[in-house]
Chains A and B, each alone.
Chain A
């Protein structure tokens, strides 16, 4: 079979990256409860985690909460009266009640306020976390309010994405700040008009698999011609499967990784290859066919690294659980994978478009979003099936091909981080 895209001089992407090896992979890191506990400590409690976008905090006093079950905590992210974005553990210093929530303490909330008041005994905190009011203060024993501020969490913003790091030393004393952490791969995306794409479709699902399995599912496209075969007209399915999938370009940047691939909206294809609904609304899996003004193509130096004319999308996988997919058509989507247990996680998928100028543009976005969901549902259920069988340990070694190089990298980085932390394996 003739390759569509050239591979590195080493003969394969996998062999071009030092330390990955080509041996079959164990998925013990995705089924072992002990390993999961180590991951929580070694990775999620000391890595920059994306919890939202700056547009969620439009004015002073705007806040949102984020549940971080993997770290057994919840955080409040707030824009202060000095316009600083800060984050705090969502716990009242008095007797430990969750400070900010409505109706159901497990549900994330957002809003605007002048201060945070605990529902339990009305202790109040300023937007900067200082304790400002204690109910019946005279009843306490030598209590100095200055000693009981909210517990602050390291918080920083990259390209409008708000991150927290639960390591109290994060970004200080020579430890890695957010900008350094995002590294070369982050720099390659800087300048993307994220802040202008404010039309959001926000999807969520709890998935019965380890968080890494869903990352694996979306960081290789080897599965695409097979699992999603029915989303093509009948005449196209067989040739697509025959052709298989080849990534145009893969890159590893420290703990992060990316794949760049072909595609593009289907108006490039002969009509018999395109679904009638895509033609009717000029949209589909790759997004609206009509490009937004001034906002399509490779918009930053890190996009389309192969410089290929057939380029369609880049998938930037930021360690540990945050993905940005940039599409040729001038829109992007993000994925987040929040572990809930060794075999369960919360998946968040968000599509971001420019605000539509009319109903036709809005309908094209609707079709892209609905198509995303149809694909996601197929991917999601496959994962539960995989998790169940991995757990049997009937088979313990799995051969990965060159198009699955990013899966290999994720598992290696996770295992290395756990080993570095002292867990070992």
Chain B
């Protein structure tokens, strides 16, 4: 299988297929359908590499990211999404949010 992420980020490759997602809607849905164990593993691995990932991505103009760098950026967006489940809620969804939803109908690309 070809790698999704740039060279140097092989340790995050196991999480790329599930978490490198282009839209907020997909990322939020992935969070709601994941176990806390899976999210904690992803969170721990990705948090250890945030400085490296930012330094790597900042080497490109934002609107000209190669595909593998874009995949890494999307993975970091997912890390941000998942962080609330791990750091705040200790569960995938926002407590007491019931049936409430808030859809991002237009988001910046990338």
Contact = CB atoms under 8 A, between A and B. Distances in A.
Interface of A: 199-205, 207, 230-231, 275-277, 280-281, 347, 349, 356-360, 362-363, 365-367, 369-371, 373-374, 376-378, 380-382, 384
Contacts of A275: 83, 87-88
B102 A373 contact: yes
Contacts of B100: 205, 207, 377, 380-381, 384
B58 interface: yes
A376 B54 contact: no
Contacts of A356: 62
B96 interface: yes
B97 A377 contact: yes
Given A230-B88, A366-B80, A370-B84, A358 B62 contact: yes
Dominant secondary structure at the A interface: helix
B99 to A, nearest CB: 7
A366 B62 CA distance: 14
A376 B84 CA distance: 13
A201 B108 contact: yes
A374 B80 contact: no
Contacts of A231: 88
Interface string B70-110: 00010011011101100111000011111111111111101
Most chain-B Cβ atoms within 10 A of its Cβ — which of A199, A275, A277, A362?
A277
A356 B95 CA distance: 32
B108 A365 contact: yes
Contact of B108 (A357, A362, A367, A373): A362
Contacts of B94: 374, 377-378
Given A230-B95, A231-B88, A277-B83, A363 B102 contact: no
A277 B101 contact: no
A359 B97 contact: no
Contacts of B58: 358-360
Given A280-B50, A359-B62, A360-B57, A202 B97 contact: no
B3 interface: no
A359 B51 CA distance: 12
Contacts of A276: 47, 83, 87
Given A365-B108, A381-B97, A205 B73 contact: no
Given A280-B50, A359-B54, A377 B108 contact: no
Most chain-B Cβ atoms within 10 A of its Cβ — which of A277, A349, A359?
A359
Given A230-B89, A377-B94, A370 B102 contact: no
Contacts of A202: 104-107
Contacts of B62: 356-359, 362
Contacts of A359: 54, 57-58, 60, 62, 65, 73
Q: Assign chain B's interface to a size class.
A: 35 or more
A16 to B, nearest CB: 35
Contacts of B97: 377-378, 380-381
Contacts of B104: 201-203, 369, 373
A281 B100 CA distance: 27
B103 A204 contact: yes
A222 B100 CA distance: 22
A58 to B, nearest CB: 15
Given A359-B58, A362-B62, A362-B110, A203 B87 contact: no
Nearest to B28: A373
B102 A376 contact: yes
B102 A199 contact: no
B76 A363 contact: yes
A371 to B, nearest CB: 8
A369 B100 CA distance: 17
Contacts of A200: 106, 108
Contact of A203 (B65, B81, B103): B103
B83 A363 contact: no
